[in-house]
Amino acid sequence: MTGAGNNIPFREMFHIEGGNFTNAGSISSQVKKILMRAGFSHGVIRRTSIATFEAEMNVICYANQGNLSLFITPDSLKIVVEDEGVGIPDVDLAMKEGYSTANEKIHELGFGAGMGLSNIKNNTDEMILTSKFGQGTHLEFVVSLEGKDRLVPLLSTKE
């Protein structure tokens, strides 16, 4: 594993190519594998994987490109997604369940239900979404660690 620091025992960044549906989901699978290998509990892995999957799909469906970073700190898992693209003109509207700007191709593949952002919100403890229309979107979310999950970041950094 890479990365070292006092407050961030682990960090990893992944590049996401907009419009590339062939590898869609591969980054969230990699994140899931990292968390499984580290030994986090089922619930933490499930919630983080779902939110990461939705965030990855958003970049693929709507942006030109982006980067997704995973930070494992002693008390939380944090994901930051920064993309370049059209951005979101009305963030509040985008957060509404069922609202979607997806095109036909996206729908055919089963994406664009208008539920991605609310799935992220429902599976995380904190979520921040900001966007500059015409430039890009910044999304961060946090899954807090409790109980024995707090010990995992300490153990997993040895690798």
Binding site for other proteins (CB under 8 A): 21, 24-25, 28-29, 32, 46, 49-50, 53-54, 57, 107, 109-116, 118-119, 122
CB-wise, 9 or 55, nearer to other proteins? 55
Residue number, 71 or 111, with CB nearest to other proteins: 111
Longest CA–CA span in the chain (Å) reads 47
d(CA 132, CA 130): 7
Task: HSE, CB side, 13 Å, CA atoms: give it for residue 104.
Answer: 0
| CB 14 to other proteins: min, Å | 15
- The pair of three-digit structure tokens given for residue 89, joined into one six-digit string: 């003109």
Q: How far is the CB of 11 from other proteins (least distance, A)?
A: 23
Q: What angle do CA 149, 153, 155 make, to 5 degrees?
A: 100
Query: Nearer to other proteins by C-beta: 76 or 118?
Result: 118
